[in-house]
Amino acid sequence: MGHVYTPGLKVTEYTKVKKRRILPLKGDVVVKVGDKVNPHDVVARTELPGNVDSINATNLLGCDPDDLQYFIKVEMNTPISKGQVIAQNKGIFNTGFFKTQIKMPFDGHIESVSHVTGNVLLRANPIPVEMTAYLEGQVMEVIPNEGVVVEANATFIQGIFGIGGERFGEIAIATPDYNCDLTAELVKEEHRGKIIVCGRRITSEAFKKAIETGVKGIVGGGVDDRDLKEILGEDIGVAITGSEDIATSLIVTEGFGDIPMAERTFELIKKYRGRHASMNGATQIRAGVIRPELVIAQPQPPAGFTEPTEAKVGLEIGSVVRIIRVPYFGVLGEVIDLPPELMVLESGSKARVLRVRFKDGAEAVIPRANVETIET
Amino acid sequence: MSKKPEDIKVILATDCGSTTTKAILIMLQDGEYRLVVRGEAPTTVEAPFEDVTMGVLNAVTEVSELAGRKLVNEDETIMRPTSGTNGTDIYISTSSAGGGLQMMVAGVVRSMTAKSAENAALGAGAIVMDVIASNDKRLAHEQIERIRQLRPDMILLSGGIDGGTVTHVVELAELISAADPKPRLGIGFHLPVIYAGNIDARVNVGEILAEKVDLRIVDNIRPVLEEENLKPAREMIHNLFMEHVMAQAPGYKKLMSWADAPIMPTPGAVGLIMKRVADEEGIQVLGVDIGGATTDVFSVFKNPSYDNHKDENEIDNPKTIFNRTVSANLGMSYSISNVFKETGIANVLRWVPFKMDEVVLRNQVKNKMIRPTTIPQAMETLIFEQALAREALRLAFIQHQNFATTLQGVQKKRTISETFEQADSDTLVNLMGLDILIGSGGVLSHAPKRNQAAMMLLDAFQPQGVTMLAVDSIFMMPQLGVLSTIHPKAATEVFHKDCLIYLGDSISPKGIGKPGQTVGRYKIEMPTGQVIEGELAFGEMKKFPLGIGEKAKLTFDCSRGFDCGEGSGKKIEREIFGGVVGVILDGRGRPLIIPEAEAERVEALTKWLLALEVYPETALKG
């Protein structure tokens, strides 16, 4: 069987993968075009402005905003340590007794003093941010002060949905085949620090055990929405993920429910067990779609790899498809007819359809919008 | 645009949406403007194309082929003006591609100046990402963190009436300055900030912000408590949308050079056409557009404090008030899971007349979220999806009712009876006075049967009295909105003749009764001369055929405790209009109460769905 994809989803043994690694704010790029990089290598760094706090100094000191400048004891924009006095009044009746002091709550500096509101804005020291290469590859382009483009030859597998951010680790296969659930017993101590791959559904018990064990990531066919809610502690409302505070990232390749990973995908990943991979669970199903991914660097073309012939575009008689909506969700079939005219579905909607034959010989009419092609 | 309206005979308009670019061709035929054809193509704002005009040209080419009229030049520009049977007199466009217009607003008091700022931004067609207010209970560092975290296209800063608080407004400016926010598009550009607050704080705000942001100053949005002056801020939002947001988006400079009128944010244009139609015809309108990711609700209701002795053009005396809300995460594909999360499974399943398994449904909803282009094949799936739609619409409408209120902070004189009547809310949304309820978006416009759209609208909005139900067939309100700025006649003609599909008048008495109790006696004198008479029982629905453009005379004599607009127990006599569904008598009472007991609920739902021929009888058994 060939590889499975939703239009736009890739499962490829050998391809060029390009990643833009851009800083959130302008900063310094520390590599140059042509440099070889590893996933953990820093390619650019910057400093995010520190957190800000605002203190109403006039209220604390009992003075007018206009007079506040006379009570400030430090220079603006110069480093101040935590606990250092930044403002002080002259005490009761200007006697010097019972002075009120304002101390710096963190290391930083005074950014501004308002003569209108009496607020003093305090800014903490900058927060250093480092951007890593994420891939094992080569720097192809430097965008001055912003970041780089890293390119790698790799096995590239996109999932349909994921959670959690970028992770790196050795690939381990946790289930005997593509049609087997990941249960807690299958998650073992030897999986610590690795990315584990399973066939069918990732159970909540297995996921919890993986977090306890220190597994970097899990890739599987499906997950139950109820389990996902249990793992995250809340329901996912909108498919914009990646920033969850979770130690183990997750990628499902097929969808929600008891749905096995496509056999070809499973076998492809299995072939590279023991190799290191980069993964990212971040998903955004909106304009500017982002799908989760597993990337296994392949500096050289894999043995026996041949360039695929030009991909078939669209459906034709004989195409193998997977149905992605009830009542036949997850079932594979072969296209036996592609009637051009619109047909009325059971729901009463009119849509372009195709006729498929399932493995058991049964036939069904399915809207074309509800199938994914499987290349053979 | 230099062309006079009377010289415009061919109009080409596009709407560049997040996923699809839709083009329509309007032509003057036999003295009236009509839609000729429409076409669509995928939007090309994102990689690998990154040029919005490619999608526009593809959609226009489809229109061109369907109409047999050349509209694109050899050099891939729109052919203008007309030459013989080719070209167009004008080209206009709206856009919500690339996430639309995303704004943050700030004001001193959440329910007053901050609310007015939110109102201005929403009315201009923006998605409001957050509202910062001096009294929003967040600490200064939390507000700063939030401003920094979100990357809006622009910020609208208001606060204080003229001559009022300066300190609080300056504090807000200081927060923005401390956050030093960066625009979403165009690294290195200064973020546009519009200041529309207390005139006395302008200098201070300028001192704080002028260096850090692209500061624009307009008239105060709330010059006195009793007035809201939204126009200058809205116009500035539109200008900045063109200057900054559009100019940064790929291909828009070219698109802007083609267009004969400024490109407007899509929802802003929808608001324009709705307000124009409402004002011209003196009607109250409620519209909803339910998309994959968001649901927009628009309304134009009479201003309860309108003084007909004063000029209606004065800013404090508008005849009607337009409101728009965006429920950013209520939708039927990308956001479907959020609808489920917000309302809960029990609220969704109360609209389904059979049992369904929760685990299976949860997975189905998530699978629709991750594969948003799939369509319901089985009837059971359609019924479930339409149940979800009712909840999405209901939640969006509640949000709208809470937002569309009279100005807060204004001292009001009320009689004792008014105090009791209005105790619960100051909403402008008056369902009894509503004349037309317009639904658009895939789940309503493309429902397999129009009866399903009618039922969804009735269940979600619960109109009272006599209300026309309609759907926007192909969602061309955005294009007509822009068109209304340069050719109002063409816009309203096409709106009535080609844009709306009238479903029919619904008659829904307000009140609660016991099952079987008489809600009222009806008499409908049909155009054929046939007279239909009878009693409407509580909990009963009826439907009578009356086609588009046909009218009948209705007499509805309400029983005590029920009201059709003239008061409890009063009779109404009026003309009613038909549509593709017909005339609907809805005796379920208002507010609509669904029986809680399972057997009663299923029985009631089945009865209603069959009365309106919403689904086939066999499908209701699940």
pLDDT the model gives residue B392: 97
pLDDT over 70, % of chain A: 94
* Interface ipTM: 0.87
List the single range of B207-211, B244-248, B428-432 with lowest mean pLDDT.
Answer: B244-248
Reply yes or no on whether the pLDDT at B445 is more than 80: yes
Say whether pLDDT at A312 is over 60: no
Q: Are residues B18 and B85 in the same domain?
A: yes
**Is residue B282 located within the same domain as residue B155?**
no
Residue B317 forms part of a structural domain: yes
In this structure, the answer to whether residues B79 and B227 fall within a common structural domain is: no
In this prediction, residue A303 carries a pLDDT of: 82
pLDDT of residue A77: 84
Alpha carbons B294 and B335: distance in angstroms, whole number: 7
**Mean pLDDT (whole number) for B246-261:** 86
**Domain stop point among B97, B116, B141:** B97
Report the gap between the CA of A16 and the closest CA in chain B (Å).
Answer: 16
Nearest to B178 among A111, A228, A236 (CB): A111
Section B42-59 average pLDDT: 84
Q: Which amino acid is at B427?
A: T
CB-CB neighbors (< 8 A) of B170 in chain A: 114, 116-117
- Kindly indicate the confidence band of residue B585, based on its pLDDT and cuts at 50, 70 and 90: very high
Bridge partners (DSSP) listed for residue B103 = B128, B154
Residue range(s) defining the domain that contains residue B494: 269-405+426-509+584-622
Please give the pLDDT value at position A33: 97
Same domain, B320 and B370: yes
**In the structure, what pLDDT confidence band is assigned to residue A6 with cuts at 50, 70 and 90?**
very low
Fold of the domain built from segment(s) A52-124: OB fold (Dihydrolipoamide Acetyltransferase, E2P) (2.40.50)
List of chain A residues whose C-beta atoms are within 8 Å of the C-beta of residue B368: 325
Q: How confident is the model at residue A11 (pLDDT cuts 50, 70, 90)?
A: confident
- A159-163, B112-116, B126-130, B491-495, range with the lowest pLDDT: B126-130
Give the nearest partner residue to B363 out of A49, A256, A351, using CB atoms: A256
**Residues 6+ positions from B160 with CB-CB distance below 8 Å:** B108, B113, B166, B168, B169, B197, B198, B200, B201, B220
Choose the final residue of a domain: B262, B280, B314. B262
Instruction: Assign A3 a pLDDT band (cuts: 50, 70, 90).
Output: very low
**Would you say A82 and A59 are in contact if contact means Cβ atoms under 8 Å apart?**
no
- Among B43, B141, B360, the residue with its CB nearest the CB of A52 is B141
| Residue among B49, B202, B367 with most chain A CBs within 10 A, to mutate | B367
Q: Where are the domains of chain A?
A: 11-45+135-297, 52-124, 320-374
**Same domain for B431 and B454?**
yes
Whether a cis peptide bond, with omega within 30° of 0, leads into A327 is yes
Structural domain includes residue B542: no
Torsion, CA A152, CA A156, CA A162, CA A168, rounded to 10: -50
Residues in chain B: 622
Same domain, B144 and B228: yes
Q: Cβ of A285 under 8 Å from any chain B Cβ?
A: yes
Structure-token pair, residue B412:
């009001």
User: Is residue B252 in a domain?
Assistant: yes
Instruction: Kindly calculate the radius of gyration of chain B based on its CA atoms and give it in whole angstroms.
Output: 25
Chain B touched by A212 (CB under 8 Å): no
What integer is the mean pLDDT of B358-378? Answer: 91
* Mean pLDDT on B85-113: 88
Amino acid at A244: E
Buried b (16+ CB within 10 A) or exposed e, A35-47: bebebebebbebe
- On whether the CB atoms of residues A222 and A257 are closer than 8 A, the answer is yes
CATH of the domain at B613: 3.30.420.40
Range of weakest confidence among A35-49, B128-142, B398-412: B398-412
Residues B463 and B492 in one domain: yes
Q: CATH classification of A11-45+135-297, choosing from 3.50.30.10, 3.40.50.150, 3.40.630.10, 3.40.50.300?
A: 3.50.30.10
- Residue B29 domain-assigned (yes or no): yes
Residues B475 and B393 in one domain: yes
Model confidence at A248: pLDDT above 50: yes
Q: Is pTM, for the whole model, over 0.90?
A: no
Write out the two tokens for A88: 């002080």
End residue of a domain, out of B65, B82, B97: B97
CATH number for position B252 = 3.40.50.280
In terms of Cα–Cα distance, which of B470, B459, B391, B504 is closest to B605? B459
Residues 321 through 340 of chain A touching chain B, CB cutoff 8 Å: 324-327, 329
Across chain A, what does the average pLDDT equal? 89
Confidence band for A264, pLDDT divided at 50, 70 and 90: confident
Query: B365 to chain A: which residues are within 8 Å by CB?
Result: 225
Mutate to test the interface with B, among A5, A25, A114 (most CBs of B within 10 A): A114
β-pair partners for A196: A172, A218
The total number of structural domains that make up chain B: 3
* Shared domain check, B119 and B73: no
Do residues B85 and B114 both lie within one domain? no
DSSP B50-107: --HHHHHHHHHHHHHHHHT---B-TTSSB--S-BTTBS-SEEEEEE-GGG-EEEEEEE
B281 within a domain of the structure (yes/no): yes
Residue B71 lies in a domain: yes
* Banded pLDDT at B227 (limits 50, 70, 90): confident
Is the model's pLDDT at B415 over the cut of 60? no
Which residues, in sequence order, are CB contacts of B272 under 8 Å at separation 6+? B264, B481, B482, B484, B485
> Is residue B443 situated within a structural domain?
yes
Instruction: State the pairing for strand pair B154-157/B192-195.
Output: parallel
Neighbours of A30 (CB within 10 A): 14
* Residue (of A195, A236, A199, A241) closest to A218 by Cα position: A195
Please name the member of A49, A326, A347 whose beta carbon is closest to the beta carbon of B180: A49
Q: Across the interface, do A54 and B449 touch by the CB < 8 Å criterion? A: no
**Mean pLDDT across chain B:** 89
Do B498 and B443 belong together in one domain?
yes
The 10 Å Cβ neighbour count of residue A302 is 14
What is the 3-state composition of chain B as percent helix, strand, coil, each rounded to the nearest 5?
Answer: 35, 25, 40
- pLDDT at residue B245, rounded to an integer: 74
Band (A167; pLDDT cuts 50, 70, 90): very high
CB contact under 8 A, B174 and A121: yes
pLDDT bucket at B319, cuts 50 / 70 / 90 = confident
What is the arithmetic mean of pLDDT over B581-608? 96
Listed in sequence order, the residues at least 6 apart from B65 whose beta carbon sits closer than 8 Å to its beta carbon are B39
What are B168-210's pLDDT values in tens digits? 999 999 999 988 887 776 666 789 999 999 999 999 999 999 9
Q: Are B444 and B464 in a shared domain?
A: yes
